[in-house]
Structure formats: C-alpha cells, structure tokens
Amino acid sequence: MADQTISKEPRYNLAYVMQETGIKADTLRAWERRYQLPQPQRTEGGQRLFSDHDIQAVKWLLERQNEGIRISQAVELWHEMESRATDPLPASSAEPLQQPVKTGNDSLTGLRDAWLQAVLNFDETAAEQLVTQAFAEFPMDTVCLNILLPGLSAIGTLWYEGKASVQQEHFASELATRRVQALISAAPKPFRDKMILVGAPYGENHTFPILLVTLLLRFRGWNVVHLGANVPMDHLLETIENTKPDLVVMNAMRLATAAALLETAASLGEIGMPIAFGGWIFNQIPGLAQKIPAYYLGGDVNEAISGIESLLLGPLPAIESGTGRDGFSETIALFQAHKGQIGRQVLDAVAETMEREISLENLQAANEFLAQDILAGLTLGDLSLVNFDLDWVERLIGSHDPGENFLPGYLGAYLAAARSFLHDPADPIIAWLTSIIKSKARRR
C-alpha cells in the first residue's frame, strides 16, 4: 500500500509543496476545499503541514490533468481506485524526495552558512537542496529574509573585499533570483483592490530586493506589477498612465541611483502619484533619505512591507519636500559636457606619473564611477556624499596593498584635469576635490 512506502507524516509547509510540484497556492487550497485531496494537517497556529504522500498525490493529479482529464474526474478516479483497494501511488511511481543536507547546524544560521559555502563552490545541487530543505522547515518569508537575502549580502561583501569573484556573486544572485521568481509565479491571485508598481530607477541593476518585495506583497494579496530594474523615466510615466496604480515603490542601492530616484520622485510629485522608496544606500549614509521627496520605507524588508501597507490602507500622510536641491544645474551641465575630456586627461596623466602600473580598464572604471558619483552629489545638493564611495574608487585603481595610498595621486590628476576644462560654475567640484586630496594625503 502507498502508506507503507510513502510517509504520511506531516512535515512540509505550503511553500515547499509549491516548489516540489509547481502548483499554485490558490489551486492547492481549492483542491483541498472542494475535493479533500490532499488533506494536510495543521499546526496549532493553523499552518498547513503536508506529508510525502500528500505531495505525491498532488503530482499524480497534475499528471492526470496533463493527460487531458478534468480535476474532478481525476479525483473520482483516485477515490475509485482506493475503493477497489488499488493503490493510486505504487512505490515505483513515487519519486523519493531529497535527503536533507547535513549542515552540522539546522538552524537558519547553519542553513545560510551552508548555502553560502555551496554557492562559493559553484555547487548548484547542494545550494538548491539546502534552500528546498529550508522551505520545508521554515515559512517562506523566513527563508527569503534570513537565508537568501543575507546570503547575497554576504557574497556582496566578500566581492567588495576582493575575497569572492564577480562570477561567484552572479552565480549566487542567479540561484536566489530563480527561486523567488518561481514563488512569485505560484502566488495566489490578488484579493485586494489596490495596485502597486514595484521597480528600480534608471541605472539601478540590482533586482533581488524588488523581487523580494514583489513576492511578499503578492502573498499578502496585493496586486503588484513588477517593472524590474533600470526603469527609464518615460517608460515609468507611460506605465502609470496605462495602469493607474495607487502607489509606486522604488529601490536604490547606489548613490548614483539615489540621485535618479530623487528625479523620479520629483517627476511623480508633479502628477500627484505617491511614491515610496528604500534601499541599501539609505542605510549607509545618514540623512540621505531626507533628500528624497517621497515616503521612506525604512531599513529592512519587513519594515518596508509594513510601510507600504500603511500607505495603502490609511490616509496618506503629508510628504516632506525633500532637502535635495537643484541649485547646481549649471555645474551639472558643464561637468556633463566635459567629463569625457577630463577622464581622458586623467588616463594620460596617471600613466605618466604614477609609479605602479594600473590597468587601463580599472582606470576607466574608476573615472566612470567617480563621474557618476559627482553628478549624483550635485543632483542631491551635497558633494560630500561622494566621500562614502571613495574607498571603492581606491579599490578600482588597484590600491589593495597595505601601506600604499594611490588615491591622492589619482584625485590630484582628476583635479588638474577638471581645472583644465571647467570654469566658474564648477567651483564646487574644484573645492571638493581639493578638500578630499588634503584629507586623504594625511593618511600617508
């Protein structure tokens, strides 16, 4: 009999069953309600717990549907086979579920550390098995917020410190993104009547945070349109015109995209469209969030979800005008016109004067990154914000060895080039570079 070979012990939560079978949550609930198949048990808190037998039953029903049989007929066939003492699930058809990976610590921390090690080793099988195991043991949002999100953050930190390759970072991101996208596709139909657009401003290519927000909102019943990363302003306005959303939610991870978000918020404010925002960069730079004329959602995803629902369910509070300024419009225009020339002169000067060879590719990357940050600082009304990213500029030009300090020399070349091409409206850039060079030189 099936119950002799396939366990009926309740072990798995709904998220795990969705991952194993590909069924959508609302479909599974409908089968349980209408046909009493499967029949999960419940925890004291009301959470469904499914057995191996339940999962195989779902797979069996899905197979009959794929053969063209209506679900009601498939259920009748199941019960008819049972009444004849014919096992609908012979042992040969039961695919054994993967055995749990031994992590030495089955807590969330242990699973996260094991997943991190698996992706660093490019071990897709182990990484996927660990996440599947986590979904079987913990609620969906717990796994996403305590394993995938901090795991990706740890990979990013290792990459920044030069301890992980960009390929390892991309591999981890791809695996985590694929899991969350699968869960989004299995989310129940929305039962709330308000619509949310979720995306990232132009230039922002990090997708996981907005995917996670989309997932959690979908499972709370909200109608969410996921726009993805790097959304141009004209495309956003066109989508708003076509969909008439109740709220736009944006995420920025870098200083440059925080500046893009400022411009997005200003444009949406002109048409009366409420916008809320968050992102890693706002956790790193005190006061940066106050520069954006929009609703700040706080420092973590749980706080963001709560903030979004408060905005949708209650009266909208008065919005702060934002402390970002556009008083540098002439400076921005002048720098935009000459940043390419400045960059080329920096390349020539650094090649001639710096003692240590630095790759052309790294110098070009440093030039582009610094130029974007200078424009962001001007847009946000405060060039001192660029100071936060100077360590990364230093890494780009290859200064990793203890005791070496190439940044003042590089910035000196940049200052000389800026003086060659910029005039009075660019005085704030000249003054900021001069101040930074003095402060960095004191590190020697």
pLDDT classification of 323: cutoffs 50, 70, 90: low
If one compares 102 and 354, the residue with the highest pLDDT of the two is 354
- For the cut 50, the answer to whether the pLDDT of residue 27 exceeds it is yes
Q: What is the pLDDT of residue 408?
A: 83
Q: What is the pLDDT of residue 356?
A: 57
Q: What is the pLDDT of residue 15?
A: 81
pLDDT classification of 441: cutoffs 50, 70, 90: low
Q: How far is CA 26 from CA 15, 30, 154, 230, in A?
A: 12, 6, 34, 32
Q: What is the pLDDT of residue 94?
A: 44
Q: What is the pLDDT of residue 44?
A: 75
pLDDT tens for 34-48 read: 888 888 888 877 788
pLDDT classification of 91: cutoffs 50, 70, 90: very low
For 352, how many CA atoms within 13 A lie in the half-sphere containing its CB?
A: 7
Counting residues of the chain whose pLDDT is more than 70, the rounded percentage is 88
For 138, how many CA atoms within 13 A lie in the half-sphere containing its CB?
A: 20
If one compares 360 and 56, the residue with the highest pLDDT of the two is 56
Q: What would the CATH number be for the domain defined by 108-182? A: 1.10.1240.10
pLDDT tens for 355-379 read: 556 678 888 999 999 999 999 999 9
pLDDT classification of 224: cutoffs 50, 70, 90: very high
Name the residue type at position 372.
Answer: Q
Classified by CATH at the fold level, domain 2-93 comes out as Multidrug-efflux Transporter Regulator; Chain: A; Domain 2 (1.10.1660)
Q: Residue 243 and residue 339: Cα distance in Å, rounded?
A: 38
Scanning the structure block, which residue is given the tokens 């009601």?
A: 72
Q: Which of 33-42, 89-98, 268-277, 378-387 has the lowest mean pLDDT?
A: 89-98
Q: What is the pLDDT of residue 324?
A: 62
Scanning the structure block, which residue is given the tokens 């305590």?
A: 146
- For the cut 80, the answer to whether the pLDDT of residue 321 exceeds it is no
Q: What is the pLDDT of residue 162?
A: 80
pLDDT tens for 227-264 read: 999 999 999 999 999 999 999 999 999 999 999 999 99
Name the residue type at position 26.
Answer: D
Name the residue type at position 312.
Answer: L
Q: Which of 27-31, 92-96, 410-414 has the lowest mean pLDDT?
A: 92-96
Q: What is the pLDDT of residue 443?
A: 56
444 and 412 in contact (C-beta within 8 Å)?
no
Residue 279: name the closest of 266, 269, 288 by CA.
288
* Phi and psi angles of residue 99, each rounded to the nearest 5 degrees, phi first: -75, 145
Using CA of residue 87, residue 132, residue 179, residue 16, what is the dihedral sign? Answer: positive
Both tokens assigned to 186: 């299995």
Name the residue type at position 32.
Answer: E
- For the cut 80, the answer to whether the pLDDT of residue 93 exceeds it is no
Q: What is the pLDDT of residue 268?
A: 95
If one compares 133 and 279, the residue with the highest pLDDT of the two is 279
- For the cut 80, the answer to whether the pLDDT of residue 296 exceeds it is yes
Q: How far is CA 381 from CA 198, 212, 243, 399, in A?
A: 26, 31, 33, 29
Q: What is the pLDDT of residue 152?
A: 94
Q: What is the pLDDT of residue 106?
A: 55
Domain spanning 192-313, CATH architecture? 3-Layer(aba) Sandwich (3.40)
For range 132-154, the mean pLDDT: 89
pLDDT tens for 146-178 read: 999 999 999 988 988 888 889 999 999 999 999
Q: What is the pLDDT of residue 380?
A: 94
- For the cut 60, the answer to whether the pLDDT of residue 96 exceeds it is no
For range 215-236, the mean pLDDT: 94
Q: What is the pLDDT of residue 97?
A: 46
What 3 state SS string does the chain have? CHHHHCCCCCCECHHHHHHHHCCCHHHHHHHHHHHCCCCCEECCCCCEEECHHHHHHHHHHHHHHHCCCCHHHHHHHHHHHHHCCCCCCCHHHCCCCCCCCCCCCCCHHHHHHHHHHHHHCCCHHHHHHHHHHHHHHCCHHHHHHHHHHHHHHHHHHHHHCCCCCHHHHHHHHHHHHHHHHHHHHCCCCCCCCCEEEEEEECCCCCCHHHHHHHHHHHCCCCEEEEEEEEECHHHHHHHHHHHCCCEEEEECCCHHHHHHHHHHHHHHHHCCCCEEEECHHHHHCCCCHHHCCCEECCCCHHHHHHHHHHHHHCCCCCCCCCCCCCCCHHHHHHHHHHHHHHHHHHHHHHHHHCCCCCCHHHHHHHHHHHHHHHHHHHHCCCHHHHHHHHHHHHHHCCCCCCCCCCHHHHHHHHHHHHHHHCCHHHHHHHHHHHHHHHHHHCCC
* Phi and psi angles of residue 248, each rounded to the nearest 5 degrees, phi first: -110, 135
Q: At what angle do helices 71-83 and 25-35 cross, to 10 degrees?
A: 50
Q: What is the pLDDT of residue 289?
A: 94
Name the residue type at position 102.
Answer: K
Residue 140: name the closest of 99, 182, 105 by CA.
182
For range 75-101, the mean pLDDT: 64
